[in-house]
Amino acid sequence: MGFTAIKNILAGKYENQEVNVRGWIYRTRSSGKLAFITIRDSSGIIQVTIAKENVPAKDFESATKALIESSAAVKGVVAKDKRAPGGYELRAKSFEVTGNADVFPITEHQSEELLLDNRHLWIRSRELVNAMKVKASLLKYCREWFNENNFYEVTPPTITPSACEGGTTLFEFNYFDKKAYLSQSAQLYLEALIYSLERVWSLTPSFRAEKSKTRRHLAEYWHLEAEEAWVNHEENMKIQEKLISHVCQKLAKEDKDELVFFKREPGTLKNIEPPFERIKYESAVKILKDKGFNFNYGMDFGTKEESALCSDIEKPVFITNFPKTVKPFYMKEADEKTYLCADLLAPEGYGEIIGGSERETDYNKLVERMKEQNMNMKDYEWYLDLRKYGSVQHSGFGLGLERIIRWLCKLEHIRDAVPFPRTINRVYP
Ligand code: NSS
């Protein structure tokens, strides 16, 4: 007889049947001849009732002695019981403690720091379990969308000789006595790959030495990036709209329990359908001024400005045509002052989740811009080659997975969108 997932028992599929369940002790309480032990597996939590006379004597003894987070395998009969959390309980016939736990270092109401020090254990918490489930679904639906839309998944390097997003957030390391950097973005490599495959996407860790402490920056995050040949700025935004909408529709349909756990009403995700509003940076500056911000044309948005721009909207919004002074060298110009680019801001004040643009295809313009920004041309020779051998119009974007999870799951802090967060003052465990 195999093992049954707790979720399926709670769904009412096994009433009065004998099942085997395995998992970890979540809560435990006993009084004389009766023990109530809740067991959690990856799918849910169920109460097990152990009556002393119904199980072997050694089982009762070890079950009542076992501390929370001990692992256990239980055989029992499923019974409907209103008093049990979830409406069903398991009446044990046997209860084997398969791995005894020491006193668990995490109890209720712990400090944030203690939880982070014990992250390897805290990832068992319901909040992190549910966030990880939503993330797994998000990845599944993104992959599904790219597969259905003629994109090739590719595997770019994460060790790089140069910056993509400017030198200030680069992690440098010693690479066989040469300087190398952890990748900030796969973009430049994806740009090279479109000449082979036309439409490509990749999922890689990206690294940013972000020196400020914020609730939306990680030093290591998961970056989903796409690059498309023969695609302009407007079509690039349409691709993003369709991808985000697909993911939201699927989550609203397939992942209700996890969303509701985070108080995310699935209906709000169903509404996320194209088109998303497009607001030019210039107009965004006016909006901010009207809201009382001391903000001038040419400045970059910080957390507060972004939040103000997306706090009372229900669908994501594109902020387009940023001034050249606040964006990297590779974007195609819209006019003398601005680029053909867009940041996608999530609703409810969560801020930027995607950055994208059409790319500069003109060799001379790129060289000129790189010189203006004092970039080391030698490091980018290969990238400039791409403009020499069959340059084509192309565009792309990068989506921060943890940023999206933070929005979808209404997380206070981005670190809970990743099991082992890397931030300015934390690299352990
Ligand atoms: O810097 S981005 O805005 N753009 C790029 O890296 C482009 N080279 C992507 C491309 O076109 N292929 O970063 C893209 C997204 C951004 O919108 C955020 O969602 C996320 O990456 N991002 C971050 N997430 C978490 N932590 C940090 N520090 C972070 N930085 C960017």
Distance 208 CA to ligand 1 centre (A): 9
- DSSP string across 178-207: EEEEE-S-SHHHHHHHHHHHSEEEEEEEEE
What is the C-alpha to C-alpha distance for residues 152 and 228, in angstroms, rounded to an integer?
10
Both 206 and 69 in a single domain?
Answer: no
Both 178 and 75 in a single domain?
Answer: no
Task: List, chain by chain if needed, residues with CB within 6 Å of any ligand 1 atom.
Answer: 164-165, 185, 187, 208, 210, 217-218, 221, 223, 225, 352-356, 396-400, 402-403
Q: How many CA atoms lie within 13 A of 197 on its CB side?
A: 17
pLDDT for 380 equals 96
Q: Determine the atom of ligand 1 nearest the C-alpha atom of 403.
A: 19
Both 69 and 185 in a single domain?
Answer: no
Strand 199-207 relative to strand 152-153, pairing: parallel
Which residue bears the tokens 């979830």? 86
Both 345 and 301 in a single domain?
Answer: yes
Q: Determine the atom of ligand 1 nearest the C-alpha atom of 223.
A: 21
Residue stretches of the chain with pLDDT short of 70? none
Distance 301 CA to ligand 1 centre (A): 14
Name the residue at shortest CA distance from atom 9 of ligand 1: 398
What is the C-alpha to C-alpha distance for residues 252 and 162, in angstroms, rounded to an integer?
40
Distance 93 CA to ligand 1 centre (A): 54
329 is in which domain, residue-wise? 119-417
- Alpha helix ranges (H) inside 45-107: 57-65
DSSP class of residue 125 equals: S
- Alpha helix ranges (H) inside 56-160: 57-65, 112-117, 119-122, 126-148
Both 282 and 392 in a single domain?
Answer: yes
Distance 272 CA to ligand 1 centre (A): 21
Distance 217 CA to ligand 1 centre (A): 10
> Is 106 within a domain?
no
pLDDT for 290 equals 96
pLDDT for 103 equals 97
> Encoding tokens for residue 292?
């009382």
Determine if residue 86 is left, alpha or beta; phi over 0 gives left, psi from -120 to 50 gives alpha, anything else beta: left
User: Residues with Cβ < 8 Å from 314, sequence gap 6 or more?
Assistant: 268, 271, 347
Q: Determine the atom of ligand 1 nearest the C-alpha atom of 225.
A: 12
Both 131 and 204 in a single domain?
Answer: yes
State the total domains in the chain: 2
> Is 84 within a domain?
yes
Both 76 and 132 in a single domain?
Answer: no
Both 140 and 90 in a single domain?
Answer: no
> Is 429 within a domain?
no
Name the residue at shortest CA distance from atom 16 of ligand 1: 354
Kindly report the CATH number assigned to the domain that includes residue 51: 2.40.50.140
Which mutation among 138, 211, 223 tests ligand 1's pocket best, with the greatest number of atoms within 8 A of CB?
223
* Residue at which a domain ends, from 99, 132, 160: 99
Distance 225 CA to ligand 1 centre (A): 9
Q: Determine the atom of ligand 1 nearest the C-alpha atom of 330.
A: 8
Distance 326 CA to ligand 1 centre (A): 14
pLDDT for 131 equals 98
Kindly report the CATH number assigned to the domain that includes residue 256: 3.30.930.10
Both 344 and 392 in a single domain?
Answer: yes
> Is 308 within a domain?
yes
Q: Determine the atom of ligand 1 nearest the C-alpha atom of 187.
A: 12
Which residue bears the tokens 């009762």? 60
Distance 165 CA to ligand 1 centre (A): 9
CB distance 190 to 325 below 8 Å: no
Distance 144 CA to ligand 1 centre (A): 22
> Is 176 within a domain?
yes
Both 311 and 254 in a single domain?
Answer: yes
> Is 190 within a domain?
yes
> Is 72 within a domain?
yes
* Residue at which a domain ends, from 42, 65, 99: 99
Name the residue at shortest CA distance from atom 18 of ligand 1: 400
* Residue at which a domain ends, from 65, 99, 133: 99
pLDDT for 3 equals 98
C-alpha separations of 144 from 138, 149, 152, 171 in Å: 10, 9, 12, 32
pTM of the model: 0.97
DSSP class of residue 343 equals: E
Strand 172-175 relative to strand 178-182, pairing: antiparallel
Both 79 and 126 in a single domain?
Answer: no
pLDDT for 212 equals 83
Nearest CA to 204 among 172, 157, 151? 157
Both 254 and 370 in a single domain?
Answer: yes
Name the residue at shortest CA distance from atom 24 of ligand 1: 400
> Is 204 within a domain?
yes
Determine if residue 73 is left, alpha or beta; phi over 0 gives left, psi from -120 to 50 gives alpha, anything else beta: beta
